[in-house]
Amino acid sequence: MYIKFNIIKEVFMNPLFQVASQFNIEGEPFYAKQYGNGHINRTYLVKCKTDGGEVKYILQQINHTVFKNVENLMKNIVAVTNHIYKIMVESNEDIENALRVIKTKDGKDYLQDKGKSYELLNSGKYPEFNCIKGDDGHFYRLYNFVENGIGIETKATIEEFRSSALGFARFQKYLDSFDASVLYETIPNFHNTVVRFENFKKAIEKDVANRAKNVAEEIEKYASRKHYTNVVVDLLESGEIPTRVTHNDTKLNNVLINLKTLNPVTVIDLDTVMSGSLLYDFGDSIRSGATTGAEDEKDLTKVNFSLELFEAYVDGFMSELADRITDKETELLAFGAILMTYECGLRFLTDYLENDVYFRVHRENHNLDRTRTQMKLVEDMEKVLPKMNEIVYKYKNKYSK
């Protein structure tokens, strides 16, 4: 009786239960807490009681400032998840862990909530859910909770990191047969480093938060590497490297790994699946995973590029893709890692100068700490670029048929 009353009370009170209940869920929601460490969306783990036990879901409040057109964003994600699901079924793969978009009760791929739950979430009564207030209300989507995998935040082991490479490389293979023409560009110029550099310059000029004076050294380090910015953009434009459908946000915690079997389970965070270069996906994985420190580590002596982890990733990646990667891509793979790390640091620095409007921050100078770790990794990689290239060719040759 008491337990039942508590559940009713919670259902009544918790606005996220009201949100989740508008989707095709099994059972009754009784638990909702923030989950994961994404920088963009607000992610919640929702648990529902059913007759047979418990079902978990991932509920996400979509960042509508970043993703302006939620309708098209969700069309992309539904198309990609359906495509992958179909291939998995055809090739007898285990579909239990496939990522699925769960529709709302009125058959939509997302919920635009302007109702009671929205008012409640913005009333200040639920600071723990920390929601973004917007004129359009909140946008939500619901996924199945992938049980058998974990998104590693930092410091993967050699075996785990190799497994993450297999996961992203297989994802790349799935997308090979995906029709790029149906894809909407969710964030224009996402990896156009030339445009990213222009935005950086504008942020310095405007200096809205009067912060440029604090970061002269960082500005100098990023500005002096301007020559990196057009390399991949130009090669894509001239057709010297192929434009492919890519994930574009292949950081370590965006692939769920089974830590017991060391099998990659599911690639998640599909908001940025768009046309791009394979160098972006390879590079962003190295940026986020081939390091001994966290992305926001303050003590830079703890942040070192790891050639060992790099090698493990190249091994996994090439074991799946050696025959598909072109000669020009192979030549630039290691540079791609420097470029993506540089680009991400440039974005953190730009956001710091713009007063932290894009990436979620949890402390003062958070974006600045991130800027510095990325530059430390860039400097480390620059020193060992010839060795990185050697490793790339070693595995390209090993796995080419």
| DSSP code for 194 | H
Residue 253 as a binder of ligand ADP (CB under 6 A): the answer is yes
Residue 272 as a binder of ligand ADP (CB under 6 A): the answer is no
Instruction: Find which of ligand GN1, ligand ADP, Mg ion, none residue 99 binds, CB within 5 to 8 Å per kind.
Output: ligand ADP
C-beta closer to ligand GN1: residue 41 or 172: 41
Tokens coding 58: 């991932």
Residue 251 as a binder of ligand GN1 (CB under 6 A): the answer is yes
Binding mask 210-249 for ligand GN1 (x = CB under 6 A): ---------------------------------------x
C-beta closer to ligand ADP: residue 66 or 307: 66
Pick one of 113, 218, 269, 311: the residue that binds Mg ion (CB under 5 A).
269
C-beta closer to ligand GN1: residue 347 or 396: 347
**Full DSSP string of 314-345:** HHHHHHHHTTTS-HHHHHHHHHHHHHHHHHHH
Residue 285 as a binder of ligand GN1 (CB under 6 A): the answer is no
| Binding to Mg ion in span 4-63, by CB under 5 A | 38
Between the CA of residue 266 and those of 97, 218, 303, what are the distances in Å?
Answer: 7, 36, 28
Residue 38 as a binder of ligand ADP (CB under 6 A): the answer is yes
Residue 254 as a binder of ligand GN1 (CB under 6 A): the answer is yes
Binding window for Mg ion (CB under 5 A); candidates: 87-95, 202-210, 250-258, 305-313? 250-258
Tokens coding 333: 């793979």
Q: What is the SS3 assignment for 57?
A: strand
Distance CA 32, CA 20 (A): 9
Instruction: Find which of Mg ion, ligand ADP, ligand GN1, none residue 295 binds, CB within 5 to 8 Å per kind.
Output: ligand GN1
Distance CA 250, CA 244 (A): 15
Q: How far is the CB of 215 from ligand ADP (least distance, A)?
A: 26
Residue 43 as a binder of ligand ADP (CB under 6 A): the answer is yes
Residue 269 as a binder of ligand GN1 (CB under 6 A): the answer is yes
Binding mask 106-145 for ligand ADP (x = CB under 6 A): -------------------------------------x-x
Tokens coding 15: 């606005």
357-387 core/surface letters (b: 16 or more CB in 10 A; e: else): ebbbbeeebbbbbbbbbbbbbbebbeeeeee
Tokens coding 143: 């996924």
Contacts with Mg ion by CB under 5 A: the residue count is 3
| DSSP code for 291 | B
Distance CA 391, CA 377 (A): 18
Residue 113 as a binder of ligand GN1 (CB under 6 A): the answer is no
Tally of helices (H runs) and strands (E runs) in the chain: 12, 11
Residues that bind Mg ion (CB under 5 A): 38, 254, 269
